[in-house]
Structure 1
Amino acid sequence: MTDTLLIAIAQLNPTVGDVAGNLAKARAARAEAARLGADLVVYPELFISGYPPEDLVLKPAFQAACMRAVEDLAADTADGGPAALVGSPWRDGERLHNAVALVAGGKVETVRFKVDLPNYGPFDEKRVFSAGPLPGPVMVKGVRLGVPICEDIWTDEVTECLMETGAEILLVPNGSPYWRDKPDERVGVAVARVVETHLPLVYVNQVGGQDELVFDGASFGLDADRRLAFQMPAFREDVALVEYVRDGDGWRCARGPMASVPVADEADWQACVLGLRDYVGKNRFPGVVLGLSGGIDSAVVAAMAVDALGPARVHCIMLPYRYTSSESLSDAEACARALGVRYDVVPIAPAVEGFEALLAPLFAGTNRDITEENLQSRTRGTILMAVSNKYGAMVLTTGNKSEMSVGYATLYGDMNGGFNPIKDLYKMQVFALARWRNANRPDGMLGPSGEVIPHNIIAKAPSAELRENQRDEDSLPPYPVLDAVLERLVEHERPIADIVAEGYPADIVRRVESLLRVAEYKRRQAAPGVKITRKNFGRDRRYPITNGFRDPGVPVVFGKSAKARLPQGDRGDF
């Protein structure tokens, strides 16, 4: 029995499906743990496969590759160095489990299975895994360690079982994705388990982007008295040594890192940048290309792209037409110059007018409407995709959550692209992040400091500039009102009547709800983007496209006095 246990926390960024690459990362982290003198190294949940593996984990060949990798890591431990707790899919007869293996002394000593499989929001584990039995502790250097896996600590059943079967420290491997205020939520859950068990708890989280999810790391420990014992940084990989010592009948953390964790706008910015960086890097794109319109959304996306990839890998293109203002031209150029990116101007008039000429016989006798507006957007999308095809850079889309909610976007136009870092940010959040980034440059950002988004872009009224003197608020409610109503409809599923009772105009609430409903078909065709809110479109909110339900809400009479008219045609209809 020992009175000291040195644990290396391997807060790492795996790639789903890259079993060989993840094993190499695990080996490198174990080598660093050995250098630090660790007795044990702990990896995040399902580290060998990457998290979440989704239906990939159902492939027998993939399961076998993951289990071989665990056995290979186990063989390494014959060198007398640290033992390891490593997460991997594990087949036990006919059942497939989300598992953690203890490897030591050259072999797989024991395996523990996740009990509580989450099946809500972005999680879908009951689809692919079987729940394990209630676990007992594992033994390292004579110390009984409880290993609940992620969701196992969100209720008290598993940790209570571990306490009753003699666990002395709780080590929790996690694949816990980011959304705003999630770190505080995790700590609250961990504190509850510590209070119930009177055991210290070590929370080990994954870091990095995986499709729409971003994992923020921010691993931490709590002593049995609920005090924060150590805190690792957020949004970056790290291997840190923490020392636990026996103190009377229990254990406490004697030393470990104490990093600060970003919150609010800084955390959201870091999440968007990391999600974009990993999506581009893990899918091996050489860089990105986007349309820089002189508006707030494309400017923020360009700044995030430069922070993620560096200016040399970001190509911005202004695609002006007759309705593009001189102000937008100068704002886009100023933004590109501040960011240091390649910037080109490609006028689209010849292409748009060519389409109109081709369609003139078919459209004879009709008036100009949203159709001609969407031709402009689709021309821009075609040009950006051509540049992508020619040079390999991925097109970024730039629609915010407010626009995606109500369908204020054009299919095969401004929705063309491979990834959207602001997809889950409402319009007012985009403005707030622009102001925040102009005043701050966090560590790890590859873009310049200072004003990277010109003040005029933030100050001017938003406009799609698809017709003369157009403003977004000609078609939509003011963004502060729109965002507040959408948050209640999307994040909280509030009935129309309840929102109206809060003081929001009944006609606006009903119109926004209608637009939200009918735009589902567009969102199904949208590029993936970083999850920032509690309920994003895609993994979290899965509504049917064909949907006959209507919230009866409150009676509304639509008339000429309505404060904001509805967008028509492809940019949103009801």
Structure 2
Amino acid sequence: MQDLTLVMAQLDPLVGDIPGNTERAIEAVREARIEHGADIVVLPELFLTGYPPEDLLLRPSMETRLRAARTRMAEKVVRDVLVIVGYPGRREGRIWNLAGALYNGEWLGEYAKQALPNYEVFDEQRYFARGAEPLVLDHQGVKLGLLICEDLWEEAPARQARQAGAEILVSLNASPFHQDKPAERLRLLEERAAAVELPIVYVNQIGGQDELVFDGGSACVDAAGELRVQAPHWAVGLMPVQFLKQQGAWVPQPGETEPDVPAEENLYCALVTGLRDYVNKSGFEGVVLGLSGGIDSALSLAIAVDALGPQRVQAVMMPYHYTADISKEDAAEQAEMLGVHYEVMPIEPMVEAFMGTLAKAFEGTERDTTEENLQSRCRGVLLMAISNKKGLMVLTTGNKSEMAVGYATLYGDMVGGYNAIKDVYKTWVYRLARWRNTQSPAIPERVIERPPSAELAPDQQDSDSLPDYDTLDAILVRYIEGDMSAEAIIEAGFDRDDVYRVVKLVDRCEYKRRQAPVGVRVTRRGFGRDRRYPIVNGWQPGE
């Protein structure tokens, strides 16, 4: 009976670090051979450059660097292991998304990705030529049909590989996470494997890259689509798959799989991973954030501590006249609970100094949001000063609901380098906070139970100027992610005034969002690379 061991290398590359990614690949193959007796090692899509490399692909030296990387791999990768790795390549004046096969110092062939996604966060038709031919590797008695990511989401490439003689389909992937995406992938693998009656090995990358985060979850299904092996989500590592040839077919044997986890846990892990990689890959010492005693900054602090450790996190309470005593108490309690460096910096002297300077310019006007925003901007100045002095990145704390309707202050609470909860609706902020407290004490219960308030005016509450968050988020999901018109949302049972107020705020505040820090995308449509609306336009909401 023939057998082979294929190892799925679920790794976290650094975009642009071709030498570093090359060494990660070499070491992963060595480890896979020693620890698992690997016959075949598969790495993710575009691993040598990291994904997505974007306009780095257009740099003149890109191909030279990749040739050097492939030469080094040919020289250093351990013998008697077939390595399948993703990288871009310029061939005959065009750039291709490739999967290359290396064995005993020789590159055996390259497969060019056929299905080039150009929706949501994907922009591959900007860079790559479309492949047309299958590649089936005949290696020591097994025929491997190569695919790359989107090729699996279309029927033709898998069928083409089957017709070319493939016995196992091997898919290299850089598939970003969003809520419900892991389950969607498994359904896809089940359907595609059953349709072509072949086992599929699906290798996905892990880690954060700017707005994107990759959850891993590499998996193998058998020819009926049954899950046989799955690597953990949110963990770098090597996962072996044992194949036996039985009655003329290669059959993956049962191995490790991952139990289902709550949606809150999966989402929280995405936020932690995105922040950790953004800070570490960018070279920051740590983060500093304003801790207000409210739910958003409280959740952001917990995420930061889980991502970086308490020693790399600084929290600053910056009270003013309208800051409630319970906010000060709750912020101090949480800082002590999580063990972070904590300071209190009252902003009254700053605000009063600005108001004194502006007194003549404001003469004859009524007090309004201008004065409220000034408080927020004073806080932003303090945080940026700490950032400059200590090398700490400012972490902003506005949620998706607020960013959608512009409930944030330019050059105030929007000042910073990254926002861990930028793509998290307010209702999910509460769900995540409650879930996090089931793991260990992290957020004072009173913070979760209190009505939300920006505390920029006496007795202010968010509900003074916005619908309740359950209603607001339901409208926003339909408008932002579902692209439903205002009238269609109203027909779904929502109040006409609420709907038009919300969609007008969303449209009007595009200019603010363009100036907001980046944050990890975790919904089907985040503010950023996959929602591109003109800032200046005459579009009217309605039909």
- Which TM class, normalised by the smaller chain length? over 0.9
> What residue is the counterpart of 1:196 in the other structure?
195
Write the mapping of 1:29-40 to structure 2, written as runs, cut at 5 A.
Answer: 29-35=28-34, 36-40=36-40
Post-superposition CA distance 1:246-287 (Å, at most 9, x none): 111211112532233534100000000000000000001010
Moved more, 406-415 or 234-243: 234-243
* Whole-Å separation in 2 of the counterparts to 1:240 and 1:395: 37
TM-score, length-scaled by structure 1: 0.93
* Whole-Å separation in 2 of the counterparts to 1:241 and 1:479: 45
> What residue is the counterpart of 2:459 in the other structure?
469
> What residue is the counterpart of 1:562 in the other structure?
none
Q: In 1, are the aligned partners of 2:110 and 2:135 still within 8 Å (CA)? A: no
> What residue is the counterpart of 1:21 in the other structure?
20
> What residue is the counterpart of 1:59 in the other structure?
59
> What residue is the counterpart of 2:41 in the other structure?
41
Q: C-alpha displacement at 1:62, in angstroms? A: 2.1
> What residue is the counterpart of 1:209 in the other structure?
208
> What residue is the counterpart of 1:506 in the other structure?
496
Q: In 2, are the aligned partners of 1:67 and 1:88 still within 8 Å (CA)? A: no
Moved more, 141-150 or 397-406: 141-150
Aligned match for 2:468, one of 478, 490, 515: 478
* Whole-Å separation in 2 of the counterparts to 1:328 and 1:130: 56
Write the mapping of 1:194-273 to structure 2, written as runs, cut at 5 A.
Answer: 194-273=193-272
> What residue is the counterpart of 1:326 in the other structure?
325
> What residue is the counterpart of 2:50 in the other structure?
50
> What residue is the counterpart of 1:105 in the other structure?
104
* Whole-Å separation in 2 of the counterparts to 1:481 and 1:331: 27
* Whole-Å separation in 2 of the counterparts to 1:141 and 1:547: 61
* Whole-Å separation in 2 of the counterparts to 1:357 and 1:472: 29
* Whole-Å separation in 1 of the counterparts to 2:3 and 2:72: 28
Q: How many pairs align?
A: 542
SS, match of residue 203 in structure 1: strand
Please state if 1:345 is matched with 2:341.
no
Q: In 1, are the aligned partners of 2:454 and 2:461 still within 8 Å (CA)? A: yes
Please state if 1:312 is matched with 2:311.
yes
Which consecutive segments of 4 or more residues in structure 1 shift more than 4 A?
none
Residue type matched to 2:299 in 1? V
* Whole-Å separation in 2 of the counterparts to 1:218 and 1:502: 36
SS, match of residue 363 in structure 1: coil
> What residue is the counterpart of 1:129 in the other structure?
128
Post-superposition CA distance 1:342-391 (Å, at most 9, x none): 11000001111111111111111111111111100000001000000000
* Whole-Å separation in 2 of the counterparts to 1:141 and 1:256: 23
> What residue is the counterpart of 1:544 in the other structure?
534
Identity across aligned pairs (percent)? 49
Residue type matched to 2:475 in 1? V
Moved more, 464-473 or 256-265: 256-265
* Whole-Å separation in 2 of the counterparts to 1:196 and 1:206: 25
SS, match of residue 488 in structure 1: helix
> What residue is the counterpart of 2:290 in the other structure?
291
Q: In 2, are the aligned partners of 1:321 and 1:347 still within 8 Å (CA)? A: yes
* Whole-Å separation in 1 of the counterparts to 2:444 and 2:531: 35
* Whole-Å separation in 2 of the counterparts to 1:68 and 1:131: 25
Q: In 2, are the aligned partners of 1:71 and 1:108 still within 8 Å (CA)? A: no
* Whole-Å separation in 1 of the counterparts to 2:209 and 2:79: 34
Residue type matched to 1:47 in 2? F
Please state if 1:521 is matched with 2:511.
yes
Query: Residues 255 and 32 from structure 1, CA distance in 2 versus in 1: closer, same or farther, beyond 3 angstroms?
Result: farther
Residue type matched to 1:57 in 2? L
Residue type matched to 2:373 in 1? N
* Whole-Å separation in 2 of the counterparts to 1:512 and 1:80: 61
SS, match of residue 130 in structure 1: coil
> What residue is the counterpart of 1:7 in the other structure?
6
* Whole-Å separation in 2 of the counterparts to 1:505 and 1:212: 33
* Whole-Å separation in 1 of the counterparts to 2:95 and 2:453: 52
Q: In 2, are the aligned partners of 1:396 and 1:420 still within 8 Å (CA)? A: yes
Q: C-alpha displacement at 1:57, in angstroms? A: 1.1
TM-score, length-scaled by structure 2: 0.98
Q: C-alpha displacement at 1:80, in angstroms? A: 2.3
> What residue is the counterpart of 2:275 in the other structure?
276
> What residue is the counterpart of 1:183 in the other structure?
182
Q: C-alpha displacement at 1:134, in angstroms? A: 2.4
